[in-house]
Amino acid sequence: MTFLLFAEQMLNGLQFGIMLFLMAAGLTLVFGVMGLINLAHGSLYMIGAFAAAWVAGLTGSFVLALMASLAAAAAAGALIELTVIRRLYKRDHLDQVLATFALILILSEGTRWVFGSFPLYLDVPSYLSGPVTLPGGIQYPLYRLAIIVAGLVVAGGLFALIARTRIGIQIRAGEADREMIAALGIDISRLYTLVFALGAALAGLAGALVGAIQSVQVGMGEPVLILAFVVIVIGGIGSIKGALVGALLVGLTDTMGGVLLPRFFALFMDPSAATTIGASLGSMLIYILMAVVLIVRPSGLYGSA
Amino acid sequence: MVEPLLQTRGISKSFGALKASSDVSLDLRPGEIHALIGPNGAGKSTLIKQIAGNMKPDSGTVHFLGQDVTALDTVARARLGLGRTFQISALAMEFTVLQNAVLGALGARGDVMRFFRPVMKDSALVERAREALERVGLQDHAATRTAELSHGQRRQLEVAVALTLKPRAFLMDEPMAGLGAGGSKRLTGFLDGLRAQAPILLVEHDMDAVFALADRISVLVYGQIIATGTAAEIRTNPEVRRAYLGEEDAA
Amino acid sequence: MTRETYINAALTFLLVLVPFWAWSTGQAYILTLCTKVAILALAGVGLNIALGLGGLVSFGHAAFFGIGGYAMGILASHAQVFDPIAEWPILIEGTKSMPVIWLVAMVSSALAALLIGVLSLRTSGVYFIMITLAFGQMLYYFTIGWPAYGGEDGLSIYVRNSFPGLNTLVPVQFLILSYVVLGLALWFSARLARSSFGLALTAARQNADRVETVGIAPFRLRLVAFVISGAITGLAGAMFADLNRFISPTMFSWHTSGEIMVFVILGGVGRLYGPVVGAALYILLEHLLGGVSDYWQIFLGLLLLAVVLFARGGLIGTLAGREVAHG
C-alpha cells in the first residue's frame, strides 16, 4: 500500500473519529451529569442533518444550513428533555432504554412522515469542495479537512467551556455529586435542559457535517449512535477526555481495519473472499475492541469505577 | 484457653496514602459478644468487609473455625457458617418475610440449582425458615411483604435469615442503627440470648447497647486497635477517652 | 386464584378462540398471524427469564434469535440441495427435520449465551447493556459479510421443514405446533419462577448482597438464567425462520433486540403471560394500524412511552395489580 493511500485513510479515520467525538461528547455528558442513557441521541443527529438539508435547499447557504442544524437539534433536544427525559432521571436504566427507544420510533417515523422516504441531499459548498495538497504530497478533500478542523475547534471549545466557565463548573459538580448541586441552590432543571440541548446541538452539527458527504436519510443516526456508545464505553462513561480518546481510537480502528484487513487476507485468499471477510471482520473489530476493554478495565479507560 | 472461632492477624489495608486498616488483630471467642467501636472514619466498615470477604487485605490473615479463609469470598465464608447482618438491611424487598427466610434455608442446604419443584412447598426448608422466624418473633408476619415491615422488624428478619444458616459466628454491622429506644432494648435483649448459640462480632455506635452486651470491646482509631478489654477496662482507658472525647479531663 | 391467574386463563381462551374462528371461516392469513404471535411470544418468554426474573437488561438477545434462525437456515439450505455442511473430520449433513433443527438451534444459542454471559456478566448496569448490544452487533455484521448464506440480502428456504406426523405447510397444523411449543415454554417458565433457582435468582435481582450472605453466588445464577434464556429465544428464532421461510442479518440487529424487549414490557416484565400479551399487542398494532397508516410505528412508540412512564407493569400489571408472592 502506498504512503499516500495510507495517509489518506489515516485522515479519514481521524475525520470519522472527530465526528464520533461530537456524538459521544453529548452522550457522555448527559450520562455523566444526569445519569441518563439516551438512545434517541442518534435521532438528534438525524434531525440536525435534515434541518441543514432543508435550509440549504431553501436558501442555498451552507452556513445558514449549519446554523439551522444547531438550532433545530438544540430545540428538539430541549423539547424532548422538557416533555420526556426529565421524567426518566429517577428511573432505572431499563426504563430509560425503553423510553428513549420509543423516542427513536416516534422521531424516525415522524421524520419520514414529514420528509418522505427518499434521501435528501446536502451539497458540499463550492468554497469547500475540491482537493487540497498537504505536506508530503497528500491530496485530500478540503471539505473533510474542514470537518477535522471544525471538530477540533468544537472539541477545544467544549473543553474550555467545561474547564473555565460557570456552566462548566456546574456541569463538573453535577457529574461528581448530583444531590449536592441541588442543595447548593443551582437550578438543576435548567442545567439539565441546557446540558441535554448542548449534547443535542453537537449531535445535530455532526449530522449536518456528515450529511454533505453521505446522504441525509431516516435512520442515518443509528449506526453512529451505536458506535458512539462503544466510544463512551471504551473511554469511560462520563469522561469527555475518554470520549475524545475513545472516538479517535474507534474511528481509526474502523477505517484502518476496513482498509488493511482485506489486504491482509488477500495475501492468502482470493481477492473477493478477502474483501468480504476483511470488511466483515473490520466492522466486528470495534466491538471486539470494546469487549476487550470492558473485560480488562470494566469502567473504561478513563471512567470512574 | 479456648480456641477463638474467628480471628484476624495483622490485617492491613491501604487506599493510596490512606491506611484504612493497620495491623489489626482481634478474635472472637465462643459464647462471647465482642464489640468493635471507634469514632467515624476509624475504618470499621473496611475491617468488616475484610472479615466478611468483600475485600482482600493487603497483608494479614483471617481465620474462621481454625481455617485460613483470607482467600475465600463472602459466599464461601457464608457456606462455612459466617452469618452476617448489614447496617442497611439487605433483604429482598418484594419477597414475603417467609420467602426471605426460606432463601436463607435454601442457601444453607445448598441445592439451589433445582428448576422444577416449587421451593415454597419444600417442607424441610419452610420448617427451618419458620423456626428462625419464631426465634426472632416474626412468625405472625410470615406472609407480610418485606417492604411493608418496620425498620426494627427488618432487622429482626435479617437476624432470622442469618439464623437459618445455623451460623457458627455472627458478624453484625450496627444492628441498632435507626431503631428507637424501645426497639434497641428489645434487640439488645435478643442478642443477649443469641450469644449462646453463636458468638457475635458487633460493630456498634450505640454505647448503651455496647456496654450492656459486650463481654469484650475493641476500640478502632485511624485503622488501629488501640485497646481491647472488658467494658470496665475500656471505660477507664485514657487513650480511649482521648480518642472519643478529645483532650477532656477524665473526671 | 389470583387476579393474574384469571387474566392468564382469559388470555389462553382468547388465544385459542381467535385461531379457531379463523380456521372455521377459512382465513389462513389470521392463522399465520396467530402463529407469528406465538413464536414472537416465545422469544419474549426467553428474554423474560433473563430480564424479568434475573433483572438482566440484555439488549443483545437478537444474537440468540439470529443464531437459532441461522441454525435453521444452514441446516435446511444444505439439506435442500443435498450438499453436506462439512465432510471432514466428520460428515455433517443438513436436515429438514424440525426437531433436529430445534435441538441444534437451542444448543448453539445456549453455547453462545454461555460465552457471551461469561464475558458480559462481569459487568453491570449500563455497561452490561452496552456489551450485550455489542455482541449482537458483532454477529449482525458477521452475517452481513457471510456470502455463503445470503449476506445482506438474506436467504430463502423454499420448503418448510418437516415435523413427524404433521404436514407443516398447513397453517393450522403449524399453528398448533407453535402453540404447543409456547405452552411448554410457559409451563417451564412458571415452574422455574417458583423453583429454588427462581427464588434465588429473583432474590439476586432485588439484592445481590443478601444472596451472597446466604452462601449463593449471584454470578452463577445469572449465567444459568442467561443460558436458559438464550436457548429459548434461539428456538423462537428457528421457528420464526420457518414461519417466514427466510433468514436475514436483521434477525441479529439491535432493532430486533429492542422489539423483543418491547413485547415483554408492553405485556408486563416478569409476568408469565407478559410476552404473550406484548407480542399479540404488537402484531395487532402492526396489522390494524399498519393497514391504516404507513407510520404506525409512531403509535407503537407513543404506546411504549406511555407504558414506561405511566403503566410500568405493562398491560398485565395494570389489570392484575401488584404481583402476588408465590407460596
Q: Rounded to an integer, what distance in angstroms lies between the CA atom of residue C195 and that of residue C208?
A: 18
Residue B226 phi/psi, 5-degree rounding, is -95, -15
Q: Would residue A72 count as lying in a domain?
A: yes
Domain that holds residue A146: 3-218
pLDDT at C190: 94
Check whether B118 has a pLDDT greater than 60. yes
- How many Cβ pairs within 8 Å bridge chains B and C? 116
Q: Of the candidates C59, C133, C309, which has its C-beta nearest A99's C-beta?
A: C309
Q: Enumerate the β-bridge partners of residue A120.
A: A216
Let me know if A186 is exposed, middle or buried by CB neighbors in 10 A (0-12, 13-18, 19+).
Answer: middle
- Decide if C199 and B99 are in contact by the 8 Å CB cutoff: yes
Torsion of CA B145, B147, B150, B154, to 10 degrees: 90
Which chains lie within 8 Å of chain B at 3 or more CB pairs, if any?
C
Of A10, A48, A52, A11, the closest CA to residue A26 belongs to A48
List A residues 103-162 in contact with C (Cβ-Cβ < 8 A): 103-106, 108-110, 112-113
Query: Does residue C89 have a cis bond before it (omega within 30 degrees)?
Result: yes
Q: Which of A94, A104, A113 minimises the CB distance to C57?
A: A94
| pLDDT > 90 in chain A, percent | 33
Residue in C with minimal Cα distance to B106: C196
Q: Are A240 and A80 in contact (CB under 8 A)?
A: no
Note whether residue A90 is domain-resident: yes
Residue C327 has pLDDT above 60, yes or no: no
Interface test with A, best of C56, C118, C119, C131 (most A CBs within 10 A): C131
Model confidence at C222: pLDDT above 70: yes
Q: Distance between CA atoms of B248 and C1, rounded to whole angstroms?
A: 67
Return the percentage of chain B with pLDDT > 90, whole number: 35
Report the chain C residue with the minimal C-alpha distance to residue A37.
Answer: C126
Task: Say if strands B67-68 and B59-64 run parallel, antiparallel, or are unpaired.
Answer: antiparallel
Mean pLDDT over C28-44 rounds to: 93
Model pLDDT, residue A1: 63
Q: Does residue C325 surpass a pLDDT of 70?
A: no
Closest approach of B86 to chain C, Cα-based (Å) = 9
Contacts of A280 in chain C (CB under 8 A): 141-142, 144-146
Could you tell me where the DSSP H helices lie in chain C?
3-24, 28-48, 62-80, 98-120, 125-144, 171-194, 196-206, 208-213, 218-244, 254-267, 274-292, 297-310, 314-320
CA distance B122 to B106: 10
- The pLDDT of residue A48: 94
Q: How far apart (Å, rounded) are the C-alpha atoms in residues A157 and A167?
A: 13
Q: Do chains C and A touch (3 or more CB pairs under 8 A)?
A: yes
Q: Given pLDDT bands bounded at 50, 70 and 90, which one contains residue C262? A: very high
In sequence order, the 6+-apart residues with CB closer than 8 A to the CB of C81 are none
Taking residue C222's Cβ as centre, other Cβ atoms within 10 Å add up to 24
B174: left (phi over 0), alpha (psi -120 to 50) or beta: left
Query: With 60 as the cut, is the pLDDT of residue C12 above it?
Result: yes
How far apart are the two ends of chain C, measured CA to CA in Å?
12
Q: Indicate the pLDDT class of residue B1, thresholds 50, 70 and 90.
A: low
Per-residue pLDDT averaged across A241-269, rounded? Answer: 86
Q: Is residue B249 pLDDT above 60, yes or no?
A: no
Whether residue A164 lies within 8 A of chain C, CB to CB, comes out as: no
CA nearest neighbour of B226 among B238, B213, B214: B238
More confidently predicted of C65 and C14: C65
Contact assignment for C214 to B121 by CB distance below 8 Å:
no
Q: Does C202 sit within 8 Å of B94, measured CB to CB?
A: yes
* The amino acid at A257: G
Q: Does B119 touch chain C (CB under 8 A)?
A: yes
CB B19 within 8 A of CB B223: yes
Contacts C224 to B, Cβ<8 Å: 113
Instruction: Give the containing element (helix H, strand E) for B124.
Output: helix B123-136
Across C127-135, average pLDDT:
87
* HEC secondary structure over C212-255: HHCCCCHHHHHHHHHHHHHHHHHHHHHHHHHHHCEECHHHHCHH
Predicted pLDDT of residue C311: 86
- In order of start, what are the domains of chain C with their CATH numbers? 3-8+28-320 (1.10.3470)
Contact A277 C145 (CB under 8 A): yes
Q: Which of residues 38-97 of A touch C (CB under 8 A)?
A: 84, 87, 91, 93-95, 97
What pLDDT does residue B248 have?
46
Q: Measure Cα distances from C65 to B158, B219, C39, C43, C115 in Å.
A: 41, 58, 11, 7, 16
HEC readout, A151-184: HHHHHHHHHHHHHHCHHHHHHHHHHHCHHHHHHC
Average pLDDT over residues C88-95: 77
Check residue A76 and give its pLDDT: 95
The verdict on a CB contact (< 8 Å) between A93 and C126 is yes
pLDDT averaged over every residue in chain A:
86
Cβ-defined contact of C297 to A226 (cutoff 8 Å): no
CA distance A164 to B114: 59
Can you read off the three cell numbers belonging to residue C160?
A: 418448510
Q: Is the pLDDT of residue C213 over 60?
A: yes
State pLDDT tens for residues A6-48.
888 888 999 999 999 999 999 988 888 888 889 999 999 999 9
Q: What is the mean pLDDT of chain B?
A: 87
**Nearest Cα to A129, choosing from A17, A57, A48, A213?**
A213
Which one of A46-50, A293-297, B45-49, C85-89 scores highest in mean pLDDT?
A46-50
pLDDT, averaged across chain C = 90
Mean pLDDT, residues C10-21 taken together? 88
Task: Give contacts of C209 with chain B, Cβ < 8 Å.
Answer: 86, 90
Q: Which sign does the torsion angle of CA C254, C256, C258, C264 carry? A: negative
**Per-residue pLDDT tens over the stretch B5-26:** 888 888 898 888 888 888 889 8
Evaluate whether chains A and B are touching (3 or more beta carbon pairs less than 8 Å apart). Answer: no
Largest Cα–Cα distance of chain A, in whole Å?
67
| Res. B75: pLDDT tops 80 | yes
pTM of the complete model: 0.90
Residues forming beta bridges with residue A138, ordered by sequence position: A134
Question: For residue A231, how far is the Cα from the chain centroid?
Answer: 9
Per residue in B174-189, pLDDT (tens digit) is 888 878 788 788 888 8
Q: Greater confidence, A149 or C151?
A: A149
State the pLDDT at residue A103: 94
**A297 part of a folded domain:** no
C52 pLDDT band, cuts 50/70/90, is very high
Question: Element (H or E) spanning B224, and its range?
Answer: strand B224-229
Examine chains C and B and say if they touch (3+ CB pairs below 8 A).
yes
- In a mutational test of the B interface, the residue from C187, C188, C196 whose CB has the highest number of chain B CBs within 10 Å is C196
Tell me how many residue pairs between chain A and chain C have CB atoms under 8 A apart: 115
Q: C203 and chain B: CB distance < 8 Å anywhere?
A: yes
Q: Measure the CA–CA gap between C50 and C55, rounded to whole angstroms.
A: 6
Has residue B251 got a pLDDT over 60? no
Round to whole Å and give the CA distance between C261 and C253: 13
CA distance C280 to chain A (A): 18
The domain limits of chain B are 1-81+167-251, 94-166
Q: What does the DSSP 8-state code read for residue B173?
A: E
Taking only the tens place, the pLDDT of each residue in C154-209 is 898 888 888 888 888 888 889 999 999 999 999 999 999 999 999 999 999 999 99
Nearest to C241 by CA among C47, C112, C97, C66: C66
**Position A213 in a domain:** yes
Name the residue among A55, A103, A303, A95 with its Cα closest to residue A200.
A103
- Bridge-partner residues for B61, per DSSP? B9
What percentage of chain A's residues is helix, strand, coil (to nearest 5)?
A: 75, 5, 20
The grid coordinates of residue B47 equal 475491617
pLDDT of residue B68: 92
CATH for B1-81+167-251 is 3.40.50.300
- The whole-angstrom distance between A62's CA and the closest CA on chain C is 31
C-alpha cell at C315: 398491560
B107 with C215: Cβ contact below 8 A? yes
**CB neighbours (10 Å) of residue C165?**
6
Domain assignment of residue A7, yes or no = yes
Residue A248 lies in a domain: no
